Structure 1
Amino acid sequence: MLSEYREVFIEELEEQLQLMDEVILQLEQEGETDRVIQSLFRAAHTLKGSSAAMGYEEMKNLTHEMEHLLDQVRGKAIAVTGPLIELLFQSLDCLKELKIDVLRNDGSLTDISSCVGDLQSFVQLSTEIEVRESVDFSQLPTLSLEQSLKIQECQDHGLKVHWISLKLSPECVIRGARFYVIHSNLNHWGEVLHALPDIDGIDDLGDESLELQFLYAGSQSHEELQELVAELTEVTAVKIEPQLTDLMGAIESTESTDRKSDVQEQIVIEDQGSVFNVKPQTQTQTIRVSVERLDHLMNLVGELVIDHTRIHQVERTQRRQFTEESVNELGQISDHLSRIIADLQDSVMKTRMLPIEQLFNRFPRMVRDLTRDLGKEIELVIGGKDTELDRTLIEEIADPLIHLIRNAVDHGIESPAQRELSGKNRKGTLQIRAAHEDNQVVIYVEDDGAGIDPARMRTSALQKGVISPEEEALLSEREAIELIFRPGFSTASKVSDVSGRGVGMDIVRSHIEKLNGIIDIETQLGQGTSFKIKLPLTLAIIIGLLVKLNDQTFIIPMSNIAEIVRITRNDIETVRGQSVILLRNQVIPIVWLHDHFNMPRGNEEKSHIQLVIVGSAEKRLALAVDGLIGNQEIVIKSLGSYIGKVNGIAGSTILGDGKVALILEVSGIINQR
């Protein structure tokens, strides 16, 4: 049965770890507040319960110690300090290692003994415990589903729910009366939801086990309740623990005692601190769907798009040959299918879309750690978190963004002392934001640092042998700045854990270009640098321009096309043996795609030539083709492992006539020039 919940547990684990990351950062930046501490405590408690239910003992033990520490913080016994924050981050990192163990599912376990020991030692050294009597209270009882629902109801009304464990004095003579008085007092202050033992069994307790337990709901804080109960007559020891709803255990317990039920409800997990949250039927119902199913559904939609293109092709062919009414009917069916498939495609696309917030939320902790390691002061500003992007792209763009952020923190933003000398604020600003522009997603990584010095770029590239002296003499300022994307280039004076190994920015560009994206850079010396990344909304279906080369059809992604021009042969000029065209004062090299793919050129006697101007960042290239067919939705298909990666080819697709057409990889063609 546990295997059925494993995927659910992993999803909740990732959510809670991300929440803890954010809350610990918030605790460090904003200081101690009841809301922040409670959120962190609730997350630790949730993970403790769910990991225990799944049988992950290491994670349960670690979160138990975290919960105990946070309970002391919540009770004001431990203050929030720098060492406490570091310990919480250390514990969170251990939990992330345990998450990797869970994902591996190979029986390997991270050693957490050191972290658990640190948590225990911190509590012992930081608290002064007033012990009125050495007390070893028994374990709290397991609650039924009805009791768990009652707790949830009380909390929804703003009440705090606690377990109150207390011991009566051995000299207590009339125990039943004392139990009744305590019970009455608690009901006067709030409401007793459950009591152990019941009043009939109180006189059966031995002298060494005069322990009473009450599940109590009231408005008092932990400290206020402690004081009230401690003042009760003949009470010698008190322990108060918060009780959070744990519907998972209650549900599993209910299922184990009612296996014969014909109707089983599926309860969706959707609450900050509980694994399962029973939602009213009037609210929107949600289900979890595996990524593999969504990918399969997307593939099926792609096949529908291909088949519809073929139907449309058949309809056009039939219309040219026949005029029967059946041909008109075929056209109507084709148009109706087009609308349905477009709606279906849009719906499937939306199911694959996720807010980019899931990616951006990783960065505050990373920037915090980097700034501490480098001795810098940086404020991270994040915008456009609700911008949606295909989940595949979110995963793929993570590494390039991490490279850009590390580069900005290490190279871009100066140290506080340097910024003061430059007349700037000691604290630098790093901004990461996303937005939708022209059916694409644009991501900006901007800093207000020193900017990029073209002269320094030239010198460093020359010293490292990235460029020759002849090439250095011909570089414009723009081209000098773009040296940052050359393999092996770095301006770092020393190699560190952050950067300076001569790798990174070239990987960023190549990775983004493989995603059919474009990266651009704008910089101003002394003012800062901005990286702009443009990505398609999805990698599965694109709009492409169909072009002819002899008898073959090729496809150029529309996202790479700047414009299309028609020129005469007299418009072509030659610079250093390279055919070029002058277009609005910009010299653009011309590439005959026939030559690139070792195909014979088309009719050389044509007076006019069709040029497709494509671009990657600031680079432009004019692709000479024999003819233009038109735009079309293209379903991208991989060439497969047998063919492998081909320079200049991004994939293939199936056209309306059933033939295969190759999709050009514009960045690959440009980089080969």
Structure 2
Amino acid sequence: MQSGDDEIKEIFLSEAFEQTEELNKLFTHLEKNHTNKQAIEAIFRITHTLKANAAGMGLEDIAAIAHVLEDIFNEIKTDNITLNQDLFNDLFKANDILCALINQVKTPGLPVKFRGIKTKLEVRVKKLKDEASENNLQDAAHTSQAQLNKDYKKPVLKRKSPSKAQLEKASRLTKTILTDAKTGIDMIHAIQALAPSETTDPNPEESIEKEAAKNKPADDTKIVISENIHIPVRKLDNLLNLVGELIIEKDRVIALNGEHGKGRLNEYTRLQRITSELQFSVMDIRLVQVNVLFNKFHRIVRDVAAIENKKVNLLLEGTENEIDRNILQIISDSLVHLVRNAISHGIEPKEQRIRQGKGEHGTLKLSAKSEKNEVIIEITDDGQGIDPKRIAKKAIEKGLLTKENASLMSDEDIIYLIFEPGFSSAEKITAISGRGVGMDVVKKAIDSIGGTVSIDSQTGAGTTITLRLPSSMAMKGALLFELESGAFAIPLSYTKAVIAISKKEIHQIGNNLMTTHLDKNISLIYLNDLFNLKQLSDSGKEKFMLRSFNKSSMDEKLHIIIISFNKKDIGFVVNKLLQQKEIVEKPLCKPLREVKFISGATILGNGNVCLVLDAPAIVNFLFKGSKPSTHQSQFAAETNY
């Protein structure tokens, strides 16, 4: 159970992280348009709020940096200083320090050095104020001189010269007004009091009370409480786990009492409805809009473009679409890498774009849309696209591909080589690219949540990378089937079709099995043979993977689940198809999590444990393998992959 102080701390951290992200976004907008008054006002409000909140929590370091930023934008609001690029660089750095200080509150570590940037900002602001004051004085001097010149040209009227006494009196009055401005103001008030106008209120205090009474609300004792509350994510995760346990228990109760509970059909139906509504309600609470992630990219695009010396405009679309917060967190690093790659590899330098007839500013678009139970995120740039010939050349140089195989592959298949571990098309290593790490990690992250990634690129026109992600990880659709050892499940996101054919419709080519589905050749594998391997290297042994096929009769009907992953289709031969079902998948604990080809487990209504297949791992093993054997190489060659 958390204490009240811990709850307040979590609320502060949640708000503080949102505020620093918003500052990054507003700084980026203001950097492009220095006259954006709305951005200036918003930054001033955010820094003022952050300063007050941090001071209230006793976090003086955070309050000090926020206070300096507040002072800066107060001066900008009043036109006492003007914005320039050096100041923006310091503002971004100060916000990074703020993020580090806030992170330190969350996870204490080494102290964050902040006094350097604080002092630098104070000195820079003082210098800018001095420059602005000097410029204002010069402008005033020029204005006064111009007025004098103008007055000098006016015709001079002859009038009687003032007497010596009049001059002395005027001199004394001028000195008095210039020495003490307050005296001059008091004189004006006195003159106005001696000559009241017709609208002067004879009883101002009574009028003020009447005016206050008019503006007073009907019931000023009413307390308004916000309809929104901050809930730590760990509490939602715990609630979701409990709902998952409830669903499993509900299935077990219905299964156990199914035969003897026919008279309780209405009760079971009501239980089914309530648990389903509870499940979807909890899942809905965990959904967040994708702009939570998209808004971070204003700063990222700005920094990467500056490093690459390129000009890039960021467009965001579909930010109101919702997705599970955990999925958003898992793909955040992948999305950062894709955006950095689009700027580094895709968008050309300004000079090259002008030569090609493009605008000097490149365009990077992040868009999101929802389709059924999926959220589709696209990263689109208008750069030079991906050149298949260049990719093939790099792959051959790195030993990932032979010239013979390259000549047999389509341009689309060659482009997908960028997801191979260690592959990089960069000519030199920079802070952004060229290290051979990244796209394979992106692919693994997307695969781990049951998503897919695809590429559409046109040389000279640009590239679009599409991520298809499940909208929630809490529940997933699965197809249950049976092998000799029991029940298994495979996610529906990888299931393309289910067919039943006879053995005579299967053709043996070397050590591999093939069949035809929708006029396309499909490789087949008996899952029993795969799971009976004592070690993975045995898969290359002669006819080891044909044992079940050779034992079956020619007229036997075979149940096949066709899996599609990474643009590769393969058929899994199983003993029996069971049902399609929504499952709550749980990760395996050590040491079982090291078991190959299994991603997790669920519990069925009969109380039995059902293992969930890791379809991407199986497909990758069959087509590649960590150390390709003769069988695997032949398997890939015969299926034209």
Q: TM-score, normalised by structure 2?
A: 0.78
Distance 1:505 1:653 in 2: 31
Alignment of 1:446-465 (within 5 A): 446-465=380-399
1:664: how far off?
A: 0.8
Pairwise CA RMSD: 2.9
Letter matched to residue 521 of structure 1: I
**What does residue range 594-613 of structure 1 map to in structure 2 within 5 Å?**
594-598=528-532, 601=548, 604-605=552-553, 607-613=556-562
The one-letter code of the counterpart of 1:345 is: Q
Rate the CA distance shift 1:647–1:123 in 2: closer, same or farther, 3 A.
same
Determine the C-alpha separation between the residues in 1 that align with 2:308 and 2:495.
Answer: 42
Aligned to 2:591, what secondary structure does the other structure show?
A: helix
Say yes or no: does 1:398 pair with 2:346.
Answer: no
Q: Greater CA deviation, 116-125 or 483-492? A: 116-125
- Partner of residue 302 from structure 1, selected from 244, 261, 278: 244
AA matched with 1:352: R
Matched AA of 2:38? R
Matches within 5 A, 1:415-430: 415-430=349-364
Contact 2:10 2:232 in 1 (8 A): no
Distance change >3 Å, CA 317–CA 328, structure 1 → 2:
closer
Mapped partners of 1:290, 1:456: distance in 2: 48
* Aligned-partner Cα distance in 2 for 1:82–1:488: 38
Secondary structure of the 2:434 match is coil
Give 1:604's aligned amino acid: S
CA offset at residue 68 of structure 1?
A: 1.6
Cα deviation, residue 576, structure 1: 4.5
- Distance of 1:590 and 1:446 partners within structure 2: 36
1:477 is displaced (CA, Å) by: 1.9
Partner of 1:39: 42
**Distance in 1, Cα, partners of 2:249 & 2:9:** 39
Shift of 1:503: 1.2
**If you compute each CA radius of gyration, which structure gives the higher value, 1 or 2?**
2
- The partner residue of 1:538 within 464, 467, 472 is 472
TM-score (norm 1): 0.75
Tell me if structure 2 keeps the 8 A contact 1:315–1:330. Answer: no
Please tell me the residue identity of whatever aligns with 1:560: Y
Whether the 8 Å contact between 1:354 and 1:390 is mirrored in structure 2 is yes
Alignment of 1:658-673 (within 5 A): 658-673=607-622
Distance 2:221 2:367 in 1: 34
- Once residues 180 and 69 of structure 2 are traced to their aligned partners in structure 1, the CA distance between those partners, rounded to angstroms, is 38
Question: For residue 423 of structure 2, what is the aligned residue in structure 1?
Answer: 489
Matches within 5 A, 1:63-212: 63-106=66-109, 108-128=110-130
Equivalent residue number for residue 193 of structure 1: none
- Alignment partners' CA distance in 2, 1:308 and 1:496: 56
Q: Which amino acid in 2 is paired with 1:610? A: H
Residue equivalent to 2:171: none
> Aligned partners of 2:182 and 2:346: how far apart in 1?
76
Say yes or no: does 1:641 pair with 2:575: no
Query: Which residue identity lines up with residue 247 of structure 2 in the other structure?
Result: V
* Corresponding residue for residue 158 of structure 2: none
Q: 2:20 aligns with which of 1, 17, 21?
A: 17
Q: CA deviation at 1:285?
A: 2.1
Partner SS, residue 672 of structure 1: helix
Give the direction of change, closer, same or farther, for the CA distance of 1:452–1:280 in structure 2 (3 Å limit). Answer: farther
Cα pair distance change 1:497/1:130, threshold 3 Å: closer
Aligned partners of 1:511, 1:392: CA distance in 2, in Å? 12
Following TM superposition, by how much is the alpha carbon of 1:519 offset from its aligned partner in structure 2, in angstroms? 0.9
1:509 to 421, 424, 443: 443
Q: Aligned pair count? A: 534
- Quick one: which of 46, 49, 62 aligns to 1:59? 62
Which residue number corresponds to residue 256 of structure 2? 314
Equivalent position amino acid for 1:289 in 2: I
| Amino acid in structure 1 at the alignment position of 2:591 | Y
Q: How do 1:174-253 and structure 2 match up within 5 A?
A: none
Q: Is this contact kept in 1: 2:489–2:613, CA < 8 A?
A: yes
Aligned partner of 2:539 in structure 1 is: none
Question: Per residue, is there more helix in 1 or in 2?
Answer: 2
Pairing 1:622–2:556 present: no
Cα distance change, pair 608–281 in 1 and its aligned pair in 2 (3 A): farther
Residues 283 and 474 in structure 2, CA contact (< 8 A), matched pair in contact too: no
Check if 1:285 corresponds to 2:227: yes
Tell me, yes or no, if the aligned pair for 1:17 and 1:96 is still in contact at 8 Å.
yes
Q: Distance in 2 between matches of 1:460 and 1:76?
A: 55
Q: Secondary structure at the match of 2:51?
A: helix
Unaligned runs of 5+ in 1: 132-168, 185-277, 319-326
Distance 1:291 1:636 in 2: 19
Give the equivalent residue in structure 2 for 1:201.
none
**Alpha-carbon distance change, 592 to 530 in structure 1, aligned in 2, over 3 angstroms:** same
Q: Which amino acid aligns with 2:297?
A: F
Q: How far did 1:358 drift? A: 0.5
Matched AA of 1:25: T
Residues 370 and 171 of structure 1, relative CA distance in 2, 3 Å threshold? closer
Identity of aligned residues (%): 32
Q: Show structure 2 runs of 5+ residues with no match.
A: 135-177, 194-219, 534-546, 623-641
2:196 paired residue number? none
Which of 330, 351, 360 does residue 285 from structure 2 map onto? 351
The corresponding residue for 1:206 is: none
Range moving further from structure 2, 340-349 or 292-301: 292-301
Partner Cα distance (1:558, 1:601) in 2 = 25
Taking the TM superposition and a 5 Å limit, the aligned residue runs for 1:541-580 are 541-580=475-514
Describe the superposition over 1:430-471 as per-residue Cα deviations: whole angstroms up to 9, x where unpaired: 111111112111111111221111111111001011223443
Q: Check 1:172–1:534 CA distance in 2 against 1; reply closer, same or farther (3 A cut).
A: closer
1-structure distance, mates of 2:384, 2:179: 74
- Whether the aligned pair in 2 keeps the contact of 1:462 and 1:469 (CA below 8 Å) is yes
Provide the rounded CA distance (Å) in 1 between the counterparts of 2:596 and 2:444.
13
Out of 585, 601, 606, the residue aligned to residue 519 of structure 2 is 585
Counterpart pick for 1:655 among 604, 607, 623: 604
Q: How far does residue 3 in structure 1 lie from its aligned partner after superposition?
A: 4.5
Q: Is the 8 A contact 1:311 1:334 kept in 2?
A: no
Shift of 1:638: 1.5
Return the alpha-carbon distance in structure 1 between the equivalents of residues 349 and 235 of structure 2: 49
Alpha carbons of structure 1 residues 576 and 554: separation in structure 2 relative to 1, 3 Å:
same
Rounded to whole Å, the distance in 2 between the matches of 1:287 and 1:449 is: 43
Query: Partners in 2 of 1:473 and 1:576 — Cα distance?
Result: 23
Equivalent residue number for residue 274 of structure 1: none
Report the equivalent of 2:321. Answer: 387
Task: Give deviations 1:392-432, integer Å, cap 9, x for gaps.
Answer: 11110101111111111111111222222323222222111
CA–CA distance in structure 2, aligned partners of residues 317 and 529 of structure 1: 58
Contact 2:528/2:548, CA 8 A, preserved across alignment: yes
**Deviation string for 1:492-532 (max 9, x for gaps)?**
00000001111111111111101111111111222211111
**2:65·2:118 contact (CA, 8 Å) conserved in 1?**
yes
